Amino acid sequence: MKVYGITNCNTVKKALDWLKANHVKYEFHDFKKLGISEEKLLEWDHKAGYENFLNKKGLTWKQLDPQVKESIKTSADALKLLQQKTSMIKRPVIEKDDFLFFGFDEAAYDKFIK
């Protein structure tokens, strides 16, 4: 299982605490240190649609110039921006087999990860 996120994100911390408490082994990919590949973003977009992992509620999105926000018309536009500004990816991203999940939801984790 792989977990993508940033270490100082409270939601990522909750998820990692849950995984540890439930003795789930995982590999952590830190967006800030390692970035994210175009191929991985394309994979997530294909599986879930970028709208599900483009975090428009976060500070990074809110601080964007309105023209940049309005320029996001296609998947390609969104993925290019997400690769540049990984803080706009909804966190954490959990990959386990066919399970792909964005964010922290204890019920979903109980059902699909345990």
Residues with catalytic roles: 9
What is the C-alpha to C-alpha distance for residues 50 and 7, in angstroms, rounded to an integer?
A: 22
CA 102 and chain centroid, separation: 5
SS (H, E, C) 64-93: CCHHHHHCCCCHHHHHHHHHHCHHHECCCE
